[in-house]
Amino acid sequence: MTDTILIFDTTLRDGEQSPGCSMNLEEKLQVAAQLETLGVDIIEAGFAIASPGDFEAVSEVARQCKRATIASLARAATADIERAWEAVQHAERPRIHTFIATSPLHMRVKLNKSPDEVLEAIDRTVRLARNLCPDVEWSAEDATRSDPDFLARAIETAIAAGARTINLPDTVGYATPETYGAMFRDMIGRVPNADLAVFSTHCHNDLGLAVANSLAAVMAGARQVESTINGIGERAGNAAVEEIAMALKVRHDVMPVRSNIVSTEITRASRLISGITGFQVQPNKAIVGANAFAHESGIHQDGMIKDASTYEIMTPESVGLTQSSLVMGKHSGRAAFRQKLQELGYELGDNAFQDAFARFKELADAKKAVYDEDIVALVDDEVNSG
Ligand code: KIV
Ligand code: ZN
């Protein structure tokens, strides 16, 4: 089994399905260009049949991108699959991604189909897609709430019909790392033609487990991970590509696989998406949050000044930031205050330093954050009055 994990980015499809996240054509082309620079292997550019705008966006992304595989989503329906092909056919590496639900609940309530009818639809639509496009991905929507025996038959049918990527989504974010990993181990072990396909993860974050679940599936043999920049997506979002990529990089010791992500492009990609969608990244978000490399407490700041590895498990440069920041606040200590003064160009004698530090602590108690301008004002006052 290869040690490379393919990164399938669905920011432009599942990500765009977040309420309020829709992007225009020009924005989608900008995002697609950055996704290629970031090194994602597959870009799901949209759902071609959803609207004329989606069709145009998928077609243009397919024409523009030369390195990544370009996919369009399609339901298990002839018109969807033909429209998807029409949109991606100009790509250097086109893919049709077709899906149907396999859980008893979805088959009964949403599709109004029996399990045998669903198997027939998988066989027919995957064959149709494969006749049009050499690269076909099939997804079992709501895989994690599907009956394992039926899911295994559905996967076998899709592979026999020509699918070469099998995606098992946790559509409603219901899985835990143990159950999601076990499902992959079970399916890869029991489906007779499983070795012909790459198994793929697709996790939603309803319980905050999307990244953990994706990584558990990787450990169980999945070799494609579907994710979005900043974890945007339906409801609580999808697995965040920046977290997956950095977890694989930083914890290579326990997950001996690699991705093609150029980690130094992560910050640029994150800022591009939040700028375009207007979705702010929460400050404490892993990897790309404003506080991800910021340190306020005195003990941490002192450690950081001595050796950054005391409180950072990856460098800010590795994700495309220039440096960590020591945020001045009430938890900051003398070492950080002295460093800040040096950065601002001040050399204070011992007494003046102690007085300035005491005044800084009073100010920090009164304010949530102390900015450089506050410190400049405080020290100037101290120097002038002393
Ligand atoms: O969450 C999901 O099940 C999906 C599929 C359409 C792949 O997005
Ligand atoms: Zn999804």
Specify the residue with its C-alpha closest to ligand 1, atom 7: 139
Does the structure show a pLDDT above 70 at 386? no
Question: ipTM score of the complex?
Answer: 0.99
Task: With 0.90 as the threshold, say if the pTM is over it.
Answer: yes
Expressed in angstroms and rounded, the spacing between residue 232 Cα and the centre of ligand 1 is 14
Expressed in angstroms and rounded, the spacing between residue 96 Cα and the centre of ligand 1 is 14
- Name beta bridge partners: 166: 138, 199
For residues 331-348, give the mean pLDDT.
Answer: 91
* Distance in angstroms (rounded) separating the CA atoms of residues 239 and 202: 8
Q: Helices 334-343 and 298-306: crossing angle, nearest 10°?
A: 60
Does the structure show a pLDDT above 90 at 20? no
User: What residues have their beta carbon closer than 5 A to ion ligand 2?
Assistant: 14
Question: Is there a contact between 40 and 68 (Cβ–Cβ < 8 Å)?
Answer: yes
Does the structure show a pLDDT above 70 at 6? yes
Q: What is the pLDDT of residues 235-253, one digit of tens each?
A: 999 999 999 999 999 999 9
Give the DSSP letter string of 202-213.
Answer: EEB-TTS-HHHH
Structure-model confidence comparison of residues 209 and 376, the more confident one: 209
* Distance in angstroms (rounded) separating the CA atoms of residues 386 and 382: 6
Ligand 1 mutation pick, 138, 167, 171, max ligand atoms within 8 A of CB: 171
Determine the pLDDT at residue 368. 80
Query: Percent of the chain at pLDDT above 70?
Result: 100
Closest CA to 166 of 107, 100, 113, 216: 100
Does the structure show a pLDDT above 90 at 62? yes
Specify the residue with its C-alpha closest to ligand 1, atom 5: 141
Determine the atom of ligand 1 nearest the C-alpha atom of 14: 8
Q: Which of 37-41, 71-75, 185-189, 305-309 has the lowest mean pLDDT?
A: 305-309
